[in-house]
Amino acid sequence: MSGTDLAARVAELKRRRHAVILAHSYQSPEVQDAADYVGDSLGLSRLAAKTDAEIILFCGVHFMAETAAILSPGKTVLIPDANAGCPMANMVAPRQLGEWRAKNPDAAVVTYVNSSAAVKALSDICCTSANAVEVVASLPAGRRTLFLPDRNLGAYVASRLGRELELWDGFCPTHERMLPEMADAARARHPGAILAAHPECRPALLAKADFVASTTGIVEFCRTNPAREFIIASEIGILHPLGKNSPGKLFHPLTSVADCPNMKLNSLEKMVWALEDLAPVVAVPPDIAQKALAPITRMLEIR
């Protein structure tokens, strides 16, 4: 089947199944174009909580589909490829967080949504890259805080708030590939272009950026900023929504190697299979879902 035929088949199955398709901005362009909504973890979490659809096809990685399942009990959450996981989320196991908590019984635990449901279930509050600063700021200033699993996002939040955070040593392998010297080279290639970066990048790279935000924040910033040319330090899938939202502007990836292989496991063909077979289903055991819902809800109440 051609890409056009596959997209038509996805649309037909979606109608027949009363499904909604959510896609993260790091998905491949054809997957994003087949979705009802494209966005970042925070936006998609909110949509998952609100949708009336009986079936959610979540084109992203496993932890995102888990969050949708937690927020939408009674609905069927599908993911096109069950192997689409997130290496950062796998960098902390529930047992490790349990031990960290036990050593720091007075500390608040802030967990980036790029984590398993079982890890969220052991946390006080969750955050995304779009609201991490507000979430940490909502805690009393003197409170010791453990932040996991992304050391780069944690360091960024700490610097924005002038607070000390204790950081888990996790990171996104895709964003970690982007080096500060690449920023210098890109600026030399594209003089005058604005450099926008995602906070999962290394602190030394963020220090060279003109603007730091989540994927949706970057898309919105570039849409509203009068500049015509931007260098983007984030996963390269974001170039698709950037181009669609800001026609006529020029976007240069900091590097083409910032391509998350896990996100790209999903495809139009696998979307068809998922909607035909109603599998793979992403389900969270009820006891874990119940415990994980509290820190996610606390986050959503803040922003």
Interface positions with ligand SF4 (CB under 6 A): 26, 61, 86-88, 114, 172-175, 235, 260, 262-263
- The whole-angstrom distance between residue 189's C-alpha and the CA centroid of its chain comes to 29
Of 114 and 246, the one with the shorter C-beta distance to ligand SF4 is 114
State the residue for tokens 């509203």: 224
Place of tokens 């509290």: 294
CB of 58 to ligand SF4, least distance (A): 13
Q: How far is the CB of 11 from ligand SF4 (least distance, A)?
A: 26
Least distance (Å) from ligand SF4 to the CB of residue 112?
9
- What minimum distance in Å lies between the beta carbon of 100 and ligand SF4? 20
Would you say 173 or 285 has its CB closer to ligand SF4?
Answer: 173
The tokens for 212 are 């730091």
Which one, 60 or 280, has the nearer CB to ligand SF4?
60
- Minimum distance between the CB of residue 67 and ligand SF4, rounded to whole angstroms? 13
- Compute CA 98 distance to the chain's CA centroid, rounded to the nearest angstrom: 24
Of 236, 100, 93, 89, give the one whose Cα is nearest residue 172: 89
Q: Are 41 and 5 in contact (CB under 8 A)?
A: no
Q: Are 67 and 41 in contact (CB under 8 A)?
A: yes
83: closest CA among 116, 107, 49, 60?
A: 60
For 52-82, letters b (16+ CB in 10 Å) and e give: ebebbbbbbbbbbbbbbbbbbeebbbbbbbb
Residue position matching structure tokens 């874990």: 288
Output the smallest distance, CB 26 to ligand SF4, in A. Answer: 6
Specify the residue, 1 or 93, whose C-beta has the smaller distance to ligand SF4: 93
In DSSP terms, which residues pair with 252 in a beta bridge? Answer: 231
